[in-house]
Amino acid sequence: MPTIKVDPRPLHAISPRLYMQFMEPLGTTDSSVEACWDALSDRWRPDFIEVVRDLAPSSIRWGGILTSFWKWRESVGPRAARQDMVNYLWGGWEKNVVGVDEFLAFCEAVAAEPIMAINFAADGRPEYINTALGEQRSGDATEAADLVSYCNDPDNAERIANGRKAPWAIHTWQIGNETSYPKAGERFTSTENARHYVEFAKAMKARDPSIQLIGWGDMERDTGKWWANELVKQGGELVDMIAIHMMHQNPGNEPTVLSGRDYRKDYGATWEALGGMYDKVEQKLLGARRTLEALGTPAKLAITEGHLSIQPHNKSEMLREWISGLYHARCMALFERHSDIIDISTLADFAGTSWTVNAVLLGSPREQPYLLPVGHIMRLFRRHSGTHGVAISSDDKSIEVSASRSVNTLFVHVVNTSLDHGAEVTLELGGVSPKAIRAHRINPELDTAIDSTALEVFAVTTTNEQPEGKLRVPKASVTAYEIEL
């Protein structure tokens, strides 16, 4: 019989930003931000706000590669006076209908902390420094500092003239996004990244010393070299968090069972292949952890992007099915187990009309937005989690766990990764007896898929369990146990 052991003593504070979403205009590739905006009423779609409030993200980041050529002043002020922008990566024109103030108003409406990324000298990418249309889209440290003032200075005349008297008071800012990913010669070097980071950080903190800053410290794709080393060496106390992305969740270039709809032919083989993706995530996280520990830095990790990258690109139908929800639950439990070093994490892109790597899928304005499986997982973990991490272990590799605590309530997340067998699990709480146990569970069949005609297939069932030290965990299920001590 499997045993889960929990030491309920609180170990460390868990950042609420462990359950982040991020918003990036994706041009003609996926009608994301513009699809969330009601052009006729000049506001965010109320049904989109409603579904995001239900998702309850702790924070929302504005960013992505867009910020390598995004000029923030083009997106503020009277709508008619705003400047159109070519979306150089994702295609088409951005009308900047949704700009700085609209994004921050959305965060306010859904009670999420905003995280703002800035144009970090175009991340050293020549194609944005001097574009094909002859534009110079690189942003400098003064431009970034001006945005800090626009958002945080109570007396900023520019913001007040645009109709927002109170400051937005953004606490967390990201400097650099996927800066290490292009080939050498098509980006900064790690040394240039660190040097420019220091320049930007000093300029931004001069406007508001209270802000927290995230620097880019991920690996070079061609060498595996961690940029965190040089970033911390040069940046020191200016580095509050180190950004990495989990964008390598793919099987490589060879066709596999994960390609197209082949996954439907053998769910066992599909689950095994997804296990290979999970191993990549875990190994990268452990590598980042070892890097931070070797540096002796108090800076935490910020996993500000990451999703399954399988074919067809960002549109796999598997991501509508429960088997993908089970996979993402493993990742979320992994991040929670390492919440002593992770401040920010996410499992998916945020919202759009096309990509199935999104947490929220929107149809036309006549269709109700809804959560994809990864969104349901983030919702479950976010809604049933505590403020402090606790030690937890499972002696059965098919039963994956994470745990947290708030005052006298213990939250235990259990992922039964077995596709064939349920389990009766012994729960040991270090000599503490539970008063009551509630189980919040998602447990459909593996091939259960969500679309606009079947919105309730991943509904959470809540039951009261007997506080006898035994947990009955169905196969292929994800459960958040709420235990009163």
How far from the centroid of its chain's Cα atoms is residue 40's Cα?
Answer: 30
For all residues of the chain together, what is the average pLDDT?
96
What is the tens place of the pLDDT at every residue in 265-309?
Answer: 999 999 999 999 999 999 999 999 999 999 999 999 999 999 999
Q: What percent of the chain has pLDDT over 70?
A: 100
What is the tens place of the pLDDT at every residue in 449-482?
Answer: 999 999 999 999 999 998 887 899 999 999 999 9
Q: What angle do CA 43, 44, 47 make, to 5 degrees?
A: 130
DSSP labels, 13-55:
EPPGGGGEEEE--BTTTB--TGGGEETTTTEE-HHHHHHHHHH
Grade residue 367 by pLDDT with cuts at 50, 70 and 90: confident
Cβ atoms within 10 A of the Cβ of 74, count?
16
Q: One-letter amino acid identity for 283? A: Q
Mean pLDDT within 49-58? 98
Grade residue 251 by pLDDT with cuts at 50, 70 and 90: confident
**Residue 117: what pLDDT?**
98
**Residue 248: what pLDDT?**
83
Grade residue 21 by pLDDT with cuts at 50, 70 and 90: very high
Exposed / middle / buried, residue 106 (Cβ in 10 Å: 0-12, 13-18, 19+):
buried
**Residue 113: what pLDDT?**
98
